[in-house]
Structure 1
């Protein structure tokens, strides 16, 4: 997951409600622990992402676009698939891709919200934990769909919250809620439309549209627990500014993440896909 919310790949653009940008006001790529934070989430979500991409099939000679490529875990997987002829790895900050050397890779430093962006057309476009951070997400889905070749696949993945409705007062729940509020007020993150992704893909004229929801185990000692611990620690001032929590609550939630009794149903990942006729 990248962001204070899941986002292993990281946003490729800068949509927001105020003046904030992912990667500038929160989660700077050059922070010494940022690559490790992103990779911790990737360990939880990559097997599901790559399993779905493999099931959908990467046709021989495919030209692929990995939006919000982050540290390149999905890009590297695509390069290992026999069908990929070229992979374009797109992100606003491509420093995490510096070690990616392969003649089939084109690293593209670009802002997905730039309306002049024209990377070409593709047989597979994948964007994970990107659109939820961009205010223009619906329009960007239209643009991504427009970059598909005939028969091409668009695969979108973003976070959805599956909170326990009877747990509103625990430190874990209060900090998670504060995180979502802080992300929205700072950089514009909004997951409320994620369940509508299948409908959006149908509206774009795609066929074979389907979706699935995955909630990885969230237990102490897991990479995902480490991801949330680092995310909340880095966001502490923003969490407290929401007025939903204070320092003591954040400390309690962080201690809970590391405790033997920690077990929660964390935010899930909804994947939706469709194919251009």
Structure 2
């Protein structure tokens, strides 16, 4: 396994850079890209890179309109992600923006996406970390409380509130363990702060609440980040475990 590059925060658009590098490796041929969690509207700047984009997400009222309003997708699927039409080894890149923390059976869903990734392909994950102060609040607050607070705490352009499931894989330790068991290579690991309530109109109040929780847990739930960004590669090695 190659050495993992660690950074305290994402430096620039690392996903765009890695996709461009992969495109160069493939001598400029079209890249097939899956966006799993396309309802949030996250995009990657890929000017002059020929791509075919497929988007999948859960069929939720909060994301349905956002998915249908996207003009960059060549195909889309809304529904149970365990039943999404993903054929083996059909994508060069799988981009997973803030999906794993909000779905049930997250490892099974992730298995299906890895299975759809071609050998040598990139798995690009951005997710909220359950093992942080912000992630703890997000996963423990009752649904009715999150719906009540959302209009007051989140920025106007934020999509939500989305479900907060946070299974074990939705953490740095959980995802590293997953990759180890599946024979996937983590090339880069970044931390950042991007929680909706930390960017909203009452961000200082949210930060104070997170700092208080961090102190109560003796730093076990940190405030230094709430987001994890990973660049993962599916190996070409035929002897590696390929699911």
TM-score (norm 2): 0.60
Following the alignment from structure 1 to structure 2, what is the Cα–Cα distance between the partners of residues 49 and 84?
24
Per the alignment, residue 271 of structure 1 pairs with: 229
User: Contact 2:94–2:124 at 8 Å: present in 1 too?
Assistant: yes
Change (3 A) 1:179 1:201: closer
Q: Where does residue 86 of structure 2 map in the other structure?
A: 118
2:87 maps to 1:87? no
Asked if residue 256 in structure 1 is aligned to residue 215 in structure 2, the reply is no
Specify whether residues 223 and 57 from structure 1 end up closer, same or farther in structure 2 by C-alpha distance, changes over 3 A only.
Answer: same
Q: Distance in 2 between matches of 1:49 and 1:107?
A: 30
* 1:138 CA displacement: 1.7
Q: How many residue pairs align between the two structures?
A: 184
Shift of 1:96: 0.6
- SS of the residue 2:104 aligns to: coil
- 1:104-143: CA deviation from partner (whole Å, max 9, x where unpaired): 62222232132x6325621000112211222311222222
* Alignment counterpart, residue 99 of structure 1, candidates 50, 69, 75: 69
- For the residues of structure 2 that align with 1:207 and 1:256, how far apart are their CA atoms? 39
Q: Is residue 215 from structure 1 mapped to residue 199 from structure 2 by the alignment? A: no
Q: Which 5+ residue runs of structure 2 have no aligned equivalent?
A: 1-8, 147-162, 212-222, 237-243
Alignment partners' CA distance in 1, 2:95 and 2:78 = 16
- The 8 Å contact of residues 225 and 257 in structure 1, kept in 2 or not, is answered as no
- Return the alpha-carbon distance in structure 1 between the equivalents of residues 142 and 224 of structure 2: 17
Measured on the aligned residues, the alpha-carbon RMSD in Å equals 3.8
1:180 aligns with 2:165: no
Contact 2:10 2:191 in 1 (8 A): no
Where does residue 226 of structure 1 map in the other structure? 200
Q: 1:127 and 2:96 equivalent?
A: yes
Question: Is the 8 Å Cα contact of residues 158 and 191 (structure 1) preserved in structure 2?
Answer: no
Is the partner of 1:200 in helix, strand or coil? helix
